Structure 1
Amino acid sequence: MLEEMGVRVFDPRSCGRTAVTSPAPPRPAAAMADVRPAGSMQAPVPIPVEVVAAAPRATSEVDALGWDELQQAVAEWANARGRRAVFGIGDPRPDWLCIGEPPVEDEERESLPFAGDAGKLLDNMLAAVGAGRRKGAYLTNVLKCRLPQDRSLEAEEVAQSLAFLRRQVALLQPRVILVMGRFAVQAVLQNNEPPGRLRGQVHRFEGVPVVVTFHPALLLRTPADKGRAWADLCLARSLLLEAP
């Protein structure tokens, strides 16, 4: 994957310590395997973006829940909608928190975010900056269950999922957040600007620095964007290097 992007495995000196919108990519290396899209790979489900601006902040007991209680609450909420919860996976004390789009069918079936080829590509991207699901990173979705195919997303569902997400952030205490995909970006940042206009900047969610980047499923369909995704990873990594 990095060979196609024209970059090498992460070297802190290659990213520098200053956040820029278009850093020069490092040199190529073949340490990360290329992941190519399978014919059955699902793209994230398109969602009307107007619900983002309409979503209120949920007021509930979520902010007082511990980790196990939060998982149970998410499972019950998804079950009430006839769905299987997709809570998250990874290091419980991560440097990186990756937030993706609403779950697709494969993710629901496995109860895992970033399943399939998109997940393999994300694993390779994280490995290039010295992180992974086992150590250093936690992966989750902006919504905690797959959306029904026969109706639009309701503002209450966005608000409740964001309440769950905020509690995850409070408990995980990540050092940097990668938000991946159009709907995830707009829901987390409460900003309906196209994600392309929000890249290359440092945003905040619950006090944590946020970097906007592409969803790996999109990168599988548009490999030309991998170089820009690497620049986003470098920006996020520079924030970790600059942190006390």
Structure 2
Amino acid sequence: MPTLLDIEAEARGCVRCPLSEGRTQVVFGVGNPNADLMFVGEAPGQQEDLKGEPFVGRAGKLLDQLVMEEMGLTRDSFYVGNVLKCRPPGNRDPKPEEIESCRPYLEKQIELIDPNVIVTLGNFATKLLLNTTQGITKVRGQTYPYGKATLVPTFHPSAALQGGGGDVISKMRADLVRAKKVLATC
């Protein structure tokens, strides 16, 4: 069976979609490979593309702060990745064909990490993993089965930074508390 390092090496050589032409590097995922908790975001931003690690910009700092405050966890105790492994130009939304190109990498990550709880951050990760067209505002606030795991959808932290403010943050906090409660029963 392939390891996370094997899948990451495969992703680094990926040319399945045009995003590979403009990337600085593949941003695969980081954290505890045996984690009970996994976060899945949308795509690398500029800072992530430069550093090669997901959620290192402002959104990542907010995510880390909220996870610490609501769950008491730091990055070394969970795993974080994205639907896309390459940065879309200008941080635009992922295209359906890009999502489909990266889907096998994300599915392998989830399979190998085998988390008990997956927290999806924003529309793209949530719609993909729940196989729904409903947006995050409709599906957040509850939990869903995902294979052997429980999926907890919440807003992407960038939504709070782009004008959603305190309302989005308070909903994210509630969702993280929900994820913590599910983790406690695993």
**Band of TM-score, shorter chain:** 0.7 to 0.9
Structure 2: stretches of 5+ with no match in the other structure: none
Provide the TM-score with structure 1 as the length reference. Answer: 0.67
Q: Secondary structure at the match of 1:201?
A: coil
| 1:228, distance to aligned residue in structure 2 (A) | 1.0
Task: State the structure with bigger RCO (CA 8 A, min sep 6), 1 or 2.
Answer: 1
- Within the alignment, does 1:198 sit opposite 2:143 as a pair? no
Q: Secondary structure at the match of 1:113?
A: coil
Structure 2 match to 1:133: 75
| 1:206, distance to aligned residue in structure 2 (A) | 3.4
Q: Match of 1:72, as an amino acid? A: A
Structure 1 match to 2:114: 173
Q: 1:153 to 1:199 in 2, by over 3 A?
A: closer
Q: Deviations over 1:182-231 (max 9, x none)?
A: 12211222211021110122123333110110111112232222111111
Structure 2 match to 1:102: 43
Q: Which whole-Å CA distance do the structure 1 matches of 2:94 and 2:137 have between them?
A: 23
Structure 1 match to 2:180: 237
Q: 1:103 to 1:171 in 2, by over 3 A?
A: same
Percent identity between the aligned chains?
Answer: 32
Kindly report structure 1 stretches of 4+ aligned residues shifted beyond 6 Å: none
Q: Which whole-Å CA distance do the structure 1 matches of 2:94 and 2:66 have between them?
A: 30
Provide the TM-score with structure 2 as the length reference. Answer: 0.87
Give RMSD over aligned pairs: 2.1
| 1:78, distance to aligned residue in structure 2 (A) | 5.5
Q: Secondary structure at the match of 1:144?
A: coil
Q: Deviations over 1:28-60 (max 9, x none)?
A: xxxxxxxxxxxxxxxxxxxxxxxxxxxxxxxxx
Structure 2 match to 1:70: 7
Q: Match of 2:101, as an amino acid? A: Q
- Within the alignment, does 1:146 sit opposite 2:87 as a pair? yes
- Of 77-86 and 210-219, more deviation after overlay is shown by 77-86
Q: Which has the higher helix share?
A: 2
Q: Secondary structure at the match of 2:13?
A: helix
Q: Match of 2:159, as an amino acid? A: L
